[in-house]
A = this chain, B = another copy of it.
């Protein structure tokens, strides 16, 4: 055992990475909530306002991400493998980016045809964000590993469910929507939303690999 590893035993609790990861997951959860409200509102002015709010939250997320990356570069000692912290942070950042990307497209493409798959996917993103928030907050003390594992399993099953919703919505569009331009637009939105759930699964996979190593 090197002296550095030895010293680590005396660092009682990480004071940097846990608060930052918790902050990132809280910001993600807020973003997901605003998305869900946004795609369910019929009021266009309200929708535009909520899209602006998502854009603002995406900037905050970027700042948290950069803060974690800077800490990673400066700190030799981290509570988990550096790669795991890096991958988890990137995945959380990606989720917010894809939420923001779908919101931006809804505005830019002037989407008005909110087919049921759009609010449904937004709801699933919010659920995954809640599970990630719980799992990341439990990482700090590792007292409730069962709860963390449960959250990861749920996120995986939400992702499978999102895949099916996406595939079926596209198949339905091909059958029912005769306007190809409209198909392209909606497909772009659904695709950004579905990728957000993929990124939630990426985050859950990193968390799973962290707990396997630490239990």
The A interface is mostly helix, strand or loop, or mixed, namely helix
Known: A73-B209, A167-B104, A212-B73. A109 touches B181 (CB 8 A): no
Q: Interface segment, A2-10, A16-24, A116-124, A182-190? A: A182-190
Q: Is A213 an interface residue (CB 8 A)?
A: yes
Q: Is A114 an interface residue (CB 8 A)?
A: no
Bound Cα distance from A213 to B76, whole angstroms: 10
For residue A165, give the distance in angstroms from its CB to the closest CB of chain B. 12
Contact status A108-B171, CB under 8 Å: yes
With an 8 Å Cβ cutoff, the count of chain A residues facing the other chain is: 25
Contact status B212-A70, CB under 8 Å: yes
Known: A174-B185, A180-B184, A181-B183. A209 touches B167 (CB 8 A): no
Closest residue of chain B to A212, judged by CB? B73
List 5 other contacts, CB 8 Å, given A69-B209, A108-B167.
Answer: A73-B209, A108-B168, A174-B184, A178-B181, A180-B180
